[in-house]
Amino acid sequence: MDIYGNRIFTKRLQLRKPEKEDIELLFTWSHSPEAYGKYLSPERLKLEHLQDQLASGALWNDREKLFLVELRDTGKPIGTTHYWQPPGNNETVVISLKIALPAERNKGYGTELQKFLIIQLFSHKKIKNIEMYTDINNNGQQRCLRKLGFELAKSLTYEDQQVQRTGHLFRLTAERYNSEPIYHYHYE
């Protein structure tokens, strides 16, 4: 599991750097309400914009990476996960994820990919916090974040693709990460 390589392998998943041939899929998902589910709004990205971002390295650099998430045994793409460091903040990383195929949700893939990405980030980047935002009604993700040691930092109102939402900001500190058994004694 090398975060600076192009792939991270978990027991059931492969997280990899998107390639040119993945742009059409990412574009299609960005316009699909089903891919985003009821807690996210479709981004409706332009194909040219995605192509430019991939070619310029905007989606894969020292401060941010977008991974395509695939089933390890079949190579079937099921979603994306993305991390970035907010401008001017070298101590924090924000993670987002999307299991784009409704049939692949509620199988533990989100928990698995978040756990292994968190391990990689704390192991290879000099950060103090990992943050994740979630819709106030996304109880499944909130349970997952608590299981992974995150704590509720604050509740807030925000705009998601011109839709007003209420949500929560969860934070995992380096100190808490170091004390959480799930990261150190249980890797499956």
Residues 172-182 pLDDT 10s: 999 999 999 99
* Tokens of residue 129, six digits: 């916090």
The closest of 21, 87, 14 to 50, measured between CA atoms, is 21
The closest of 59, 26, 29 to 42, measured between CA atoms, is 29
The phi and psi torsions of 119 (rounded to 5 degrees) equal -60, -45
Please determine, for residue 6, whether its predicted confidence score (pLDDT) is greater than 90.
no
The amino acid at 103: A
Please determine, for residue 185, whether its predicted confidence score (pLDDT) is greater than 80.
no
Burial 152-172 (b: 16+ CB within 10 A, else e): ebeeeeeebeeeebebbbbbb
Q: How many Å apart are CA 136 and CA 39, to the nearest integer?
A: 9
Bridge-based pairing of strands 13-16 and 92-99 is unpaired
Please determine, for residue 2, whether its predicted confidence score (pLDDT) is greater than 50.
no
Residues 143-167 pLDDT 10s: 999 999 999 999 999 887 788 889 9
Question: From residue 60, how far is each of 4, 19, 55, 123, 150 by CA, in Å?
Answer: 10, 11, 10, 18, 26
| Residue 186 binned pLDDT confidence (cut-offs 50, 70, 90) | low
Give the residue extent of every domain in the chain. Answer: 7-184
Question: From residue 96, how far is each of 20, 115, 179, 185 by CA, in Å?
Answer: 22, 13, 23, 25
Residues 45-87 pLDDT 10s: 999 999 999 999 999 999 999 999 999 999 999 999 999 999 9
User: Would you identify the CATH topology of the domain 7-184?
Assistant: Aminopeptidase (3.40.630)
Q: How many Å apart are CA 148 and CA 182, to the nearest integer?
A: 7
First to last CA, the chain: 14
**Average pLDDT of the segment spanning 16-38:** 95
Q: What is the DSSP string of 128-142?
A: SEEEEEEETT-HHHH
* pTM score of the predicted model: 0.92
